[in-house]
Amino acid sequence: MSDVRRAIVFRGRVQGVGFRWTTAQMAERFAVRGWVRNEPDGSVRCEVAGEPSEIEAFLAAVEEAMRGNVTSREGAAVSRSDLSGGGFEIRH
Q: Which residues contact 76 (CB under 8 A, 6 or more apart)?
A: 6, 7
- The CATH topology of domain 4-90 is Alpha-Beta Plaits (3.30.70)
pLDDT tens-digit readout, 8-34: 999 999 999 999 999 999 999 999 999
Sequence spans of domains, the chain: 4-90
Tell me the pTM: 0.86
Q: Which of 39, 35, 42 is nearest to 78 (CA)?
A: 35
pLDDT at 84: 59
Q: Is the per-residue pLDDT at 85 higher than 70? A: no
pLDDT at 75: 83
Q: Known catalytic residues?
A: 20, 38
Q: How far apart are CA 23 and CA 12, in angstroms?
A: 15
pLDDT tens-digit readout, 42-83: 999 999 999 999 999 999 999 999 999 999 999 877 655 556
Q: How far apart are CA 3 and CA 38, in angstroms?
A: 25
pLDDT at 65: 95
